[in-house]
């Protein structure tokens, strides 16, 4: 992806509402209506307690995101299976922005147009300039969209991906679409509007695209075909015949001759494949040898899991494996406690037909039902899940190796997802009802490792039952305690590992942003950090900026989320510069002495004073040291706050940054550039005042360190000579 503009196009992701019309103290919590006098006795104290709880949640979120950043760029320390990160390569077109021709070339290298749906879609696209490819996940809809756009616009034409949360009405009326362009929306999430209204908007969008000579291809689930508004624009999408695709791909990637008997076995297994990506993987696997290709097609992990469930395991074996699917890699002693709680929930459900949401089940009450409770020794795992589970010893993140302890993990990363899939396919309400209550109980625990693994497991479950996850878990947790809201935010981050769930994760997060109460809005702010904010960066920045203009609780959370977004971008120069450029543009667009400017400057000071997620020093110092081009944006941001009532905080942040850079000789050039930008943004009188204030501030014991004063002289004297 490439962000082509020097200044972000702030209209690309629609900002929810005007800033200046939203007073800082406004609270959208509809639940506040009807409160009694006793409830409102001390609102200030209650809000303070809520913000303190939110702060603890952000501390937890920062620890998890910081560990992911560290693992991604400095080598993995924890191999428990939590895999989301900020450097992983997203599927082409998944993140909104321009899609480079090379990315499209890779996506279409082995592409074989499925007929007749490809021809039907091409005819509809040429006639109406918009088409919706409706089909199952992993059916090649994304590649089909790229191929269609290349047919109508040519191979080297610019291609741009739009956010799946975009409103079709806004696309028709805003500057989001330009003339002579090719657009794609992958995994469109739809809009909650009556069909008649949306049908009108789609017709208007079609006319606008035709007028501009642009084209739009949307990919969506099969259910989209049943929506009357989209029905006339949908083409049912199908996968190409696997054997035809296999033969086509082999011609493009020649391999050694295959003996007839082996080829017959290969073709037999390829004919069973349903995903085009799996067929292509089989062809590319031939380069590593026939045995590798056959092993890939055999899918031993899936066969192992299915065989285990085919034996109809007893509850005594099933429940611990189900627990492990949501708690992989935590210390074994903690896993055992959690497993007992799950058994207690199931036992209470069997005895009474219901369990309570508010109190923990009594693990000692009643007679234990045979095969339900976790009663076996640790050695039982060797018999319980042979080939599926193993033990390993390792310390927790940041712990000394001497504190290593046993942890239960699956023998392959795929097995966890396969186990959850089998649990969903084979077991019903009698298992999932107590399991959901158990997950909700775990989401309230103080143990961050447990809640992180719960989030990972729930994200895997969402691949099979998104509606269940949304209605019975995330909607509840998003309005719950701080720990539950952090678990919700992490679940949405993990959902982004699946390219088809990422748009749904964005849609869920945005659904809580406005009019759903402060607690859910805070959850939105938390969720728009990390992978979700990295993937949909402009959408995240627009909504977080919107939330900084709401009630103080929501605004405080949004500011912390903006800081987290920049902190997690420390090792991603393009994203860091994009974020700095966005904030600088927003500040510049506010009117002098307006409320919007006051709030923008407050956010800016918090960004400039932010510490790094991992390692000592300020984030600004790390960006100056490692991100070329950041000095210009940071300098202009510092000028804006130095010339405001936030001056004291800005000077303090500048002192902290210089102190963090004092031992780095290479930082002098960046500091000199920072000073040049700042001086260009001030009058001589203002610059002279800073020349007096900064040395005085550096006398503070925290900054009076050898080297700091020298860097201050570099900054202040950069353009004096």
Comparison of pLDDT for 494 and 349, the residue scoring more: 494
Residue 84 in contact with residue 71, Cβ under 8 Å?
Answer: no
pLDDT of residue 5: 39
Q: Using only C-alpha atoms, what is the Rg of the chain?
A: 28
19/549 Cα distance (integer angstroms): 6
The more confidently predicted of residues 713 and 381 is: 713
Q: Say what the alpha-carbon torsion angle 201, 204, 206, 211 is, to the nearest 10 degrees.
A: -150
Contact assessment for residue 245 and residue 280, using Cβ atoms and an 8 Å cutoff? yes
Give the pLDDT confidence score for residue 173 in this predicted structure. Answer: 74
Q: What is the pLDDT of residue 227?
A: 66
When pLDDT is averaged across residues 70-77 and rounded to a whole number, the result is 45
Res 275: pLDDT: 86
Q: At residue 582, does pLDDT exceed 70?
A: yes
116-125, 273-282, 368-377, 471-480: range with lowest mean pLDDT? 368-377
pLDDT digits 0-9 by tens, 515-555: 899 999 999 999 999 899 999 999 999 999 999 999 999 99
Q: What is the pLDDT of residue 51?
A: 85
Confidence of residue 585 (pLDDT cuts 50, 70, 90): very high
Is it true that domain 115-236 has CATH number 3.40.50.300?
yes
- pLDDT tens-digit profile of 227-248? 656 778 899 999 999 999 988 9
* pLDDT at position 143 over 90: yes
Considering 87-91, 93-97, 165-169, 251-255, the range whose residues carry the highest mean pLDDT is: 93-97
Task: Quote the pLDDT of residue 129.
Answer: 94
Confidence label for 226 from pLDDT (cuts 50, 70 and 90): low
What pLDDT digit, counting tens, does each position of 284-298 carry? 888 777 777 777 777
SS3 159: strand
pLDDT of residue 8: 44
**Exposed, middle or buried by CB within 10 Å (0-12, 13-18, 19+), for 530?**
buried
pLDDT, tens digit, for every residue of 617-643? 999 999 999 998 999 999 999 999 999
Strands 159-161 and 405-410, by their bridges, are unpaired
* Residue 376: predicted pLDDT: 53
- 82 vs 409 pLDDT, higher one: 409
Indicate whether 336 pLDDT > 50: yes
Higher local confidence (pLDDT), 666 or 603: 603
* pLDDT band (50, 70, 90) for residue 366: very low
Least confident among 32-46, 130-144, 148-162, 510-524: 32-46
Q: If DSSP codes are grouped into helix, strand and coil, which group holds residue 292? A: helix
Question: Which residues sit opposite 611 in a β-bridge?
Answer: 618
> Alpha-carbon dihedral of residues 340, 345, 351, 355, nearest 10 degrees?
150
Residue 214, pLDDT above cutoff 50: yes
Residue 412's pLDDT band, with cuts at 50, 70 and 90, is confident
Which residue in 632, 608, 629, 628 sits closest to 620, CA to CA? 608
Mean of pLDDT values over 682-692:
94
User: Is the confidence at residue 30, as pLDDT, over 60?
Assistant: no
- Higher-pLDDT residue of 453, 137: 453
Q: How far apart are CA 378 and CA 385, in angstroms?
A: 12
pLDDT category of residue 3 using cuts at 50, 70 and 90:
very low
Whether pLDDT at 653 is above 90: yes
Write down the pTM of the prediction: 0.83
Separation of alpha carbons 160 and 171, rounded Å: 13
Count CA atoms closer than 13 A to 135's CA, side-chain side. Answer: 25
d(CA 39, CA 34): 10
Domains of the chain, by residue range, sit at 30-72+518-716, 115-236, 242-298, 309-443
- Nearest one of 192, 187, 191 to 136, comparing CA atoms: 187
User: Which of the two residues, 169 and 599, has the higher pLDDT score?
Assistant: 599
Percent of residues, the chain, with pLDDT higher than 90: 53
The model's pLDDT over 458-511, given as tens digits with 9 standing for 90+, comes to 999 999 999 999 999 999 999 999 999 999 999 999 999 998 899 999 999 999
Does 31 score more than 60 pLDDT? no
pLDDT range class, residue 375, cuts 50, 70, 90: low
What is the pLDDT at residue 78? 38
Q: What's the confidence (pLDDT) of residue 383?
A: 75
Q: Which of 104, 89, 140, 137 is nearest to 497 (CA)?
A: 89
The secondary structure of 665-680, three-state, reads CCHHHHHHHHHHHHHH
DSSP code, position 500: T
What pLDDT score does 25 carry? 39
- On the 0-12 / 13-18 / 19+ scale of CB atoms within 10 A, 265 is middle
Nearest to 419 by CA among 311, 323, 342: 323
Going across the sheet that includes 234-236, the strands are: 97-99, 159-161, 182-185, 215-220, 130-134, 234-236
Whether 359 shows a pLDDT value over 70: the answer reads no
Q: Is the pLDDT of residue 591 over 60?
A: yes
Predicted local confidence at residue 229, as pLDDT:
67
pLDDT at 47 over 80: no
- pLDDT confidence bin for 720, thresholds 50/70/90: very low
> What pLDDT, on a 0 to 100 scale, did the predictor assign at position 195?
55
Q: Residue 189 pLDDT > 80, yes or no?
A: no
- Tell me what the pLDDT averaged over the chain comes to: 84
Helices marked H in 180-274: 195-212, 228-231, 242-252, 260-270
Q: Which residue has the higher pLDDT, 381 or 216?
A: 216
Instruction: State how far the Cα of 145 lies from the Cα of 218, in Å rounded to an integer.
Output: 7
């Amino acid at each position: 992806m490439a962000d082509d503009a020097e200044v972000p196009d702030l209209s690309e992701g629609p900002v929810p509402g005007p800033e200046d019309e939203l007073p800082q103290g406004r609270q959208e919590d509809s639940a506040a209506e009807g409160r009694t006098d006793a409830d409102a006795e001390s609102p200030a104290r209650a809000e303070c307690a809520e913000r303190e709880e939110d702060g603890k949640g952000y501390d937890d979120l920062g620890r998890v995101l910081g560990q992911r950043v560290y693992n991604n760029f400095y080598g993995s320390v924890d191999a428990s299976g939590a895999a989301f990160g900020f450097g992983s390569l997203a599927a082409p077109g998944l993140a909104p922005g321009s899609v480079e021709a090379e990315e499209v070339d890779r996506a279409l290298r082995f592409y074989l147009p499925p007929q007749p749906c490809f021809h039907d879609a091409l005819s509809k696209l040429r006639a109406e300039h918009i088409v919706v490819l409706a089909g199952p996940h992993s059916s090649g809809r994304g590649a089909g969209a790229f191929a269609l756009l290349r047919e109508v616009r040519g191979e080297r034409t610019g291609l741009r991906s739009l956010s799946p949360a975009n409103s079709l009405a806004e696309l028709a009326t805003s500057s989001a679409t330009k003339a002579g362009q090719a657009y794609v929306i992958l995994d469109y999430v739809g809009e909650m509007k009556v069909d008649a209204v949306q049908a009108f908007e789609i017709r208007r969008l079609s006319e606008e695209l035709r007028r501009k000579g642009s084209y739009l291809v949307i990919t969506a689930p099969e259910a989209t075909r049943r929506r009357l508004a989209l029905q006339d624009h949908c083409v049912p999408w199908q996968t190409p015949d696997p054997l035809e695709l296999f033969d086509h791909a082999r011609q493009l990637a020649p391999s050694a001759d295959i003996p007839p008997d082996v080829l017959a076995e290969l073709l037999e297994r390829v004919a069973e494949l349903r995903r085009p990506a799996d067929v292509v993987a089989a062809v590319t696997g031939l380069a590593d040898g026939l045995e590798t290709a056959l092993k890939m097609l055999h899918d031993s992990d899936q066969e192992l899991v299915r065989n285990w469930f085919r034996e109809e395991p007893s509850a005594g074996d099933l429940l611990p494996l189900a627990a492990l699917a949501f708690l992989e890699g935590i210390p074994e002693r903690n896993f055992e406690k959690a497993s007992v709680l799950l058994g207690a929930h199931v036992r209470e459900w069997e005895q009474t037909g219901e369990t309570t949401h508010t109190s923990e089940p009594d693990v000692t009450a009643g007679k234990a039902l045979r095969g339900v409770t976790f009663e076996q020794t640790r050695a039982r795992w060797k018999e319980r899940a042979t080939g599926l589970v193993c033990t390993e010893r390792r310390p927790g993140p940041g712990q000394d190796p001497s504190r290593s302890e046993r942890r239960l993990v699956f023998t392959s990363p795929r097995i966890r997802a396969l186990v959850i899939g089998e649990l969903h396919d084979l077991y019903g309400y009698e298992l999932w009802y107590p399991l959901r209550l158990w997950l909700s109980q775990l989401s309230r625990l103080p143990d961050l490792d447990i809640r992180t693994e719960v989030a990972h497991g729930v994200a895997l479950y969402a691949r099979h039952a998104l509606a269940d996850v949304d209605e019975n878990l995330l909607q509840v947790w998003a309005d719950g305690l701080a720990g539950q809201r952090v678990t919700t935010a992490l679940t949405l981050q993990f959902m982004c590992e699946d390219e088809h769930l990422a748009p749904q994760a964005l849609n869920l997060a945005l659904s809580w942003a406005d009019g759903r109460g402060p607690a859910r809005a805070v959850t939105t702010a938390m969720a728009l950090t990390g992978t979700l904010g990295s993937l949909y960066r402009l959408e995240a920045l627009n909504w977080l900026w919107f939330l900084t203009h709401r009630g103080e609780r929501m605004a405080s959370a949004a500011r912390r989320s903006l800081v987290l977004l920049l902190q997690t971008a420390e090792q991603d120069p393009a994203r860091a510069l994009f974020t700095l450029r966005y904030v600088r543009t927003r500040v510049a667009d506010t009117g002098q002495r307006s409320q919007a400017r006051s709030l923008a400057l407050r956010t800016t000071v918090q960004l400039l004073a932010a510490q790094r997620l991992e390692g000592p020093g300020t984030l600004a110092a790390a960006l100056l040291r490692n991100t070329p081009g950041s000095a210009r944006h940071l300098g202009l941001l510092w000028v804006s706050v130095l010339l405001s009532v936030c001056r004291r905080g800005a000077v303090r942040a500048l002192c902290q940054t210089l102190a963090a850079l004092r031992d780095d000789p290479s930082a002098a050039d960046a500091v000199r550039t920072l000073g040049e930008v700042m001086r260009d943004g001030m009058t001589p009188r203002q610059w002279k005042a800073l020349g007096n204030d900064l040395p005085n501030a550096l006398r503070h014991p925290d900054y009076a360190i050898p080297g700091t004063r020298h860097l201050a002289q570099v900054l202040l004297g950069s353009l004096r000579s």
